[in-house]
Each structure stands twice: as structure tokens, then as C-alpha cells.
Amino acid sequence: MVSKDTRVIDKMGFHMRPANNFITAMTKYKSDITIIFNGNRINGKSIMNIMAACIKYDSPITIECSGEDEQEMLDEAVRLIESGLEEI
């Protein structure tokens, strides 16, 4: 398992379009991804779980990846979040 702390920089937070972009990028990996926000563990491949978490702008989150391609998945997840979660 690998993990990294980061912050959501999209001014609108983790809303529908960025969440969809994120999930689209993450589903190509075999590893599991978890977003830890306010002590809750959120499935990073589930749009419903991400949307229900209400992750706002500047929220501190931790990304955890576990599996055979975990480091590549973590690197892309952090890059997407730190670039504003827009287009993939």
C-alpha cells in the first residue's frame, strides 16, 4: 500500500464533473483506491461515494492505493487532484 496527503484545489471541490474525470482515470488501474476525508474511507472508484462525501475546496485528503499498479495509480490520482481535477 502507498499513500499521500494532498489538498483539493478545484474551487468547486470534488463535484460531479471532476469526480467523473477522476473515476474515469482510476478505473483503468487494477489496484484499489481509497480517499480518506474527515476520518471516512471513500471508495475512489465510486462516483456515488465521492459525491456523498461532499469534499470541498482546500479540503485535506489522503489518497491510498493498494494493488499491483498502486504507485502508478497514486501518482496519477495526486496529479489529477493537484491540477484541479479538470480534463484528463
Query: Grid coordinates representing 70?
Result: 498502486
Phi, psi (degrees; rounded to nearest 5) at 68: -70, -25
Q: Known catalytic residues?
A: 15
Q: What is the DSSP letter of 49?
A: H
Dist CA 31 CA 75 (whole Å): 13
Element (H, E) at 36: strand 32-37
Dist CA 40 CA 51 (whole Å): 13
